[in-house]
Amino acid sequence: MSQKVLLSSKEINIILHRLACQLLENHLDFKNTVLIGIQPRGIFLASRLAKILKEDYGVKKIDLGFLDITFYRDDFRRGDKTLEANKTKIDFLVEDKKVVFVDDVLYTGRSIRAALTAIQSFGRPLEIELLTLIDRRFSRHLPIQPNYRGRQVDAINGEKVKVMWEENDGEDVIYLVKT
């Protein structure tokens, strides 16, 4: 197994600021917009973006939630591996709000499909957008595309994208891993 650095810590930081600016362009003060990090790995990206928006761009209040999609996945109970649920933390209403789903890697689109179903338990959003750090564009099983993307990656032939976050893994770096 070999791995190649796709994005360094500095490059990730630049991309995060660009994504934050794109969100600001479309949502200004975030009064009617909520960020929802998709469990498990999207929560690190969503938290980091919320922090950048508050600290660097002066957004006063951002509703930030975390959505567990484990039991909404279409591959739930299909494999030998037992799936473990994460926590959903949404302590605000999404009814008539603009929801921005945040996930680290968009691969087949199945996680986003599950999130679209899961969010309905919390109300009917006015609109839903998708922000992803890495878009693996040639891997889609469903017609789902991000509104905001950090970087498009053409991973083929069993290659995987591995996103590491300082908060969880000790460093910010993204690898392309060949198995």
Q: Grade residue 156 by pLDDT with cuts at 50, 70 and 90.
A: confident
Residue 114 counted as domain residue: yes
Residue 38 domain-assigned (yes or no) = yes
Q: Residue 50 corresponds to which tokens in the numbers above?
A: 């919320």
- The verdict on residue 76 lying in a domain is no
Number of domains in the chain: 1
Amino acid letter, 135 = D
pLDDT of residue 115: 96
Domain that holds residue 66: 8-71+84-154
Whether the upstream peptide bond of residue 40 has omega within 30° of 0, thus cis, is yes
**Alpha helices (H) along the chain:** 9-27, 42-55, 110-119, 166-169
**CATH assignment at residue 150:** 3.40.50.2020
Residue 120 lies in a domain: yes
Separation between Cα atoms, residue 164 and residue 71, nearest integer Å: 25
pLDDT one-digit tens code per residue, 38-60: 999 999 999 999 999 999 999 99
Grade residue 74 by pLDDT with cuts at 50, 70 and 90.
low
pTM for the structure as a whole: 0.93
Per DSSP, 137 falls in state: G
* Amino acid making up residue 70: T
